[in-house]
Amino acid sequence: MNHNLKEGLEVVQALEAYLLKIAPKNVETVIAPPFIHIAQAAEISKNTHLSIAGQDCSAQESGAFTGEVSAAMLKSAGAELVIIGHSERRQYFKETHAQLSAKVEQAWANNLLPIFCVGESLEDRKAGHHFKTVEDQISGALGKYDAAQLENLVIAYEPVWAIGTGETASGAQAQEMHAHIRSFIAQQHNATLADEISVLYGGSVKPANAEELFGQPDVDGGLIGGASLQADTFIELIKIGEAVL
């Protein structure tokens, strides 16, 4: 919940100008602006290397749910992806596995690619429960779907203790969890899906640590928070991704 419309569109315009200039080959760039920015952001970035995502969508198709934004609305405004299950949604809005599963279904029904977020709290990690927490989040919301369905999904690992705190998982910690996620998916489905599904790291990613994080073998990119609010900083991350990934 940052940037008014003018400020947000200025970021989009700067990113679009940069991506048109370099035509990246190794990275896909997605931004998830506030809902009221999406239609204009999508128009600005049309026919470029920049895609638009929603920050969330409703678990309902339509109806009397005042304040909600449906997946169909996002699609009609120009979004191509949607973030589902971000840690802040889980923490502040108490979203359940069932709600998140319904949101994934709504995304698929409207041809949006879900970016499904998982991650443990500091308490979970200190207690040694971090692997089990992430397994439960994946199986709880996605367990009923088969491998063919999950091919149309991106996973973002965001350790809750590293979001907005300035703390960041080390490259080794990120790699350990990303490898575990792939291992769990292989157990639940198959090795092909585990290898091919994109798994992003999110949690205080910035230019100073992006090369270490993106250089890990099982890290496919980043879910960027605060560092995406300024175009110059986000462009630095795109440059690092283009060089490393």
Average pLDDT over residues 128-139: 98
pLDDT at residue 23, as a whole number: 92
Please report whether residue 179 resides in a domain. Answer: yes
> Cα–Cα distance between 1 and 23 in angstroms, integer?
29
Q: pLDDT: is 46 or 105 the higher one?
A: 105
Please report whether residue 241 resides in a domain. Answer: no
Please report whether residue 130 resides in a domain. Answer: yes
Report helix, strand or coil for 200. Answer: strand
Please report whether residue 224 resides in a domain. Answer: yes
pLDDT at residue 168, as a whole number: 76
Choosing from 37, 86, 130, 178, the catalytic residue is: 86
pTM tops 0.95, yes or no: yes
pLDDT at residue 47, as a whole number: 82
> Cα–Cα distance between 183 and 131 in angstroms, integer?
11
- Quickly state the pLDDT bin for 104 (edges 50, 70, 90): very high
Active site residue 129: no
> Cα–Cα distance between 36 and 91 in angstroms, integer?
23
Please report whether residue 74 resides in a domain. Answer: no
61-75, 101-115, 167-181: range with lowest mean pLDDT: 167-181
3-state secondary structure 159-184: CHHHCCCCCCCCHHHHHHHHHHHHHH
Average pLDDT over residues 185-193: 98
Choosing from 49, 158, 178, 189, the catalytic residue is: 158
Q: Which domain holds residue 228?
A: 119-232
What CA–CA distances, in Å, run from 51 to 42, 57, 69, 218?
Answer: 8, 17, 19, 23
Please report which helix (H) or strand (E) contains residue 82, including its range: strand 81-84
> Cα–Cα distance between 70 and 58 in angstroms, integer?
5
Please report whether residue 144 resides in a domain. Answer: yes
Among candidates 144, 135, 217, which has minimal Cα distance to 184? 135
Percent of the chain with pLDDT over 90: 94
Q: Is residue 166's pLDDT more than 90?
A: no
Active site residue 86: yes
Q: Is residue 167's pLDDT more than 80?
A: no
Q: How many domains does the chain have?
A: 1
Average pLDDT over residues 124-138: 97
Q: Is residue 86's pLDDT more than 90?
A: yes
Output the domain CATH number for residue 209: 3.20.20.70
Please report whether residue 221 resides in a domain. Answer: yes
